[in-house]
Chains A and B, each alone.
Chain A
Amino acid sequence: MDAVRAFAAALDSTPEFVGFEEYARALKNDEEATNAIHAYQSKQQTLQLMSRLNAVSEDDLRELERLQRAVFDHPTISGYIQAQDQLTALCQASARLLSERIGLEFSVKRSGCCG
């Protein structure tokens, strides 16, 4: 449908989409940022397992907090999150407009999410 392609093209040319793509690319190529994410995720998974055994110490929690701060304070990551948030708002606003016009929910996330 031409209207679908035109809509996608219009979204593709917005500063929000361009910004998101730039940050997604930057994040992919930023070894320090991806290492920080992996370190945080790894520690988080370890602590989830340890919490089942009631074996999480205060030091572990402090370390997790430190790794979390390292993730969210990282300029590439925080920029990516901000860009993602802005694109999300734009996509949601577009979908809301479409839903209003057609009287049906335009975008529904059908599969489960958040793992």
Chain B
Amino acid sequence: MNLAAATNENLANISNTLIYSSMAVYTLAFFAHIAEWVFGSRSKVGRTAAALKKDSSTAASPVMVRAAQAGGTTVLERPKVVTRSAAGTRDVPDGPGAAGGTFKGDLWGRIAVSLTVVAFAVQAGGVVARALSVQRAPWGNMYEFSITFSTVAVGAYLTLLALRKNVRWIGLLLVTTVLLDLGIATTTLYTDSDQLVPALHSYWLWIHVSTAIICGAVFYLGAVGTLLYLFRDSYENKIASGGTPGKFATSVMERLPAAKSLDTFSYRINAAVFPLWTFTIIAGAIWAGDAWGRYWGWDPKEVWSFITWVAYAAYLHARATAGWKGRKAAYLALAAFGCWLFNYYGVNIFVTGKHSYAGV
């Protein structure tokens, strides 16, 4: 069988066009997000300071009142649940988001999200066309890995949005990094579509690599949350200790969710993905057992997957260890994501091992 004939040049070209088009649309989304931030900056929001001042007088007051059952005419009859944060944590309300509660900002934000949805659809089309052109999973080399990676990251973000989670604050950063990722993918990492070497022929390719990509993409969202948590936390600390942050910092930070919310966000993301990452490594080990005769051989890629795994485990431990919660745990989470990134870029480029046929 001449497998080369299976590679459909036409589809490959369509895929490339779609990827370039999605970059164009992402660029528009990027500018719309910028507009959202710019118009949002006109709103005056200074709830953090107010909350922190109140916080010092009455320790841990209830932050949120939620009707047990929303709507209905008998709301008043129903018991209401009062929640309060655990002792020792600050009660700071979440910021209103990039739009800052302004109409214009919100409009631009919605435009940005809509454009992101369009770009995502186009990009996903590009990935699918690529897959069809090679008649296999679209992750046989770093180019394909990169385009799939950012598609999944945006997909995860849009899913969270669709589930009505408060995640629009990620928008600008996400779109920026997706553009970067696609830029690198189409320029330096580009590889013409083609078949795989025999070593990659296995259904484990589907399982192992797809979960690896999903993990990375979602870990990325967690890492963004962690990073913003660190900034927002310093901001809150500064205010709590009587300082006055700069104007720009205030404008940006006030609109982000509270440090505590950001921290919870990234914890949930990381904790949710950790079992999947564990599975990814195990699936890789099973595949390695089939392909190379040993399920674990300390190949650089394996080593870095292991390091990443241990680093995330350390992060989860830190969250449960007094004295390590908060910022220290956040640094661990960032280091863990750094390990993931290095495993993806660094190991493929700088280190040679059995995994290096990925066609850099």
Same complex origin of A and B: no
Chain B residues engaging chain A, CB cutoff 8 angstroms: none
